[in-house]
Amino acid sequence: MLKIALDVMGGDYAPHYPVEGAVLALHEYPKLHVVFVGQETIVNRELAKFPNAPKERIEIVHAEEVIGMEEAPGVALRRKKQSSIRVGLDLVKNKQADAFISAGNTGAVMGGSLLYLKTMPGVAKAAIATFLPTIAGTSIMLDVGANVDCRPEHILQFALMGNSYAKYVLGIAEPKVGVLSIGEEDGKGNDSTRQTFTLLSDCPLINFYGNVEGKEVYKGGCDVIVCDGFVGNIALKVSESLAGMISTMLKEELSRGFLNRLGALLAMGGLKNLKKRVDYTEYGGAPLLGVTGPVFICHGNSNPNAMKNAFRAASIYVEKQVNQHISDDIVQTLSKLKQHIPQVNE
């Protein structure tokens, strides 16, 4: 039995979408047990809308307070000690839940995870990883928003975490790991990128691909792409915006005139498959790698399908013991590199 805690109060469409997504997951995954964290009267009201939900695999933990999407994370975490985010993270910390999922205030989820769960031994900074649909299948990019400023040794740790995630979640025996840069050549990029290139080249646990240009990201030649959170978040948001723009323009063009509508009808199967391949909701939440307990961060506007798939992602993460693999790889690499790079522990 997998017990996963859900922040019912977090997200633009809370509490309905998180609860509906959880109920969908309960029906789809027989081993799943969901702990609904939030104001009990609201949780019960939402669950009453789903009379066929398996009540024997449902638990409610009351959390009186809610951290709003617009609130300053640090201030909110200090003032609202009974928030659904704090209570959910405490469940993971106290081994009362195997993982925590939230579509709420991203800064509060990240800050709370670092404050209450702490980073793993040897991990200086946690990182948010996300799936990217590519021509070849799926790639992972990290960090996409947890850290604005990173040193090369931090990005080395991101590479190790992403490597473990790709290996045990995507099932890639030897993931190819690359650095997001402005050119493929070894000397391209800023000082940080070039130093990161050297560190990854010398890391025995990584199958280093080299630099990855922006134009190569979606070709799928690289399984794991690492960068600092500032660059990664911009790359992710631009990609999401582009996907939304293409979808909107495609709908507009296919609705123009009889022949276009006929063509759209004939291509309906292919269009549906394309939508599924590029739809972020199919990938669920993004894991916060490097903290001692599994935490998955969802888009604030996540729909029920996205929330359901977040449970799938979290379940695989727990079952494959990804955190343990990450910890083992970090410790092994640090023992080999610390004599050459003492600051890697900082």
- Provide the pairing of β-strand 295-297 with 99-102: parallel
- Domains, the chain, in order of start with CATH, read 1-117 (3.40.718.10), 125-281+323-346 (3.40.718.10)
Cα-based distances in Å from 263 to 260, 266, 268, 299: 5, 5, 8, 33
What pLDDT is attached to residue 188? 81
What pLDDT is attached to residue 308? 94
Strand-by-strand arrangement of the 137-142 sheet: 58-62, 32-38, 2-7, 99-102, 295-297, 286-289, 127-134, 137-142, 224-226, 176-181, 207-213
What pLDDT is attached to residue 337? 63
Cα 177 from Cα 184, distance rounded (Å): 13
Among 336, 317, 330, smallest CA distance to 125 is for 330
Cα 164 from Cα 144, distance rounded (Å): 17
Cα 39 from Cα 59, distance rounded (Å): 13
What pLDDT is attached to residue 276? 59
- Provide the pairing of β-strand 224-226 with 137-142: parallel
What pLDDT is attached to residue 342? 47
- 210: left (phi > 0), else alpha (psi -120 to 50), else beta? left
In order along its 346 residues, the chain shows pLDDT tens digits of: 899 999 999 999 999 999 999 999 999 999 999 999 999 999 999 999 999 999 999 999 999 999 999 899 989 999 999 999 999 999 999 999 999 999 999 999 999 999 999 999 888 899 999 988 888 888 999 989 888 889 999 999 999 999 999 998 888 999 999 999 988 877 788 888 899 999 998 888 889 999 999 889 888 899 999 999 999 889 888 887 877 777 788 777 777 877 777 666 666 676 566 565 555 666 678 999 999 999 999 988 899 999 999 999 999 999 999 999 888 888 877 766 655 554 444 4
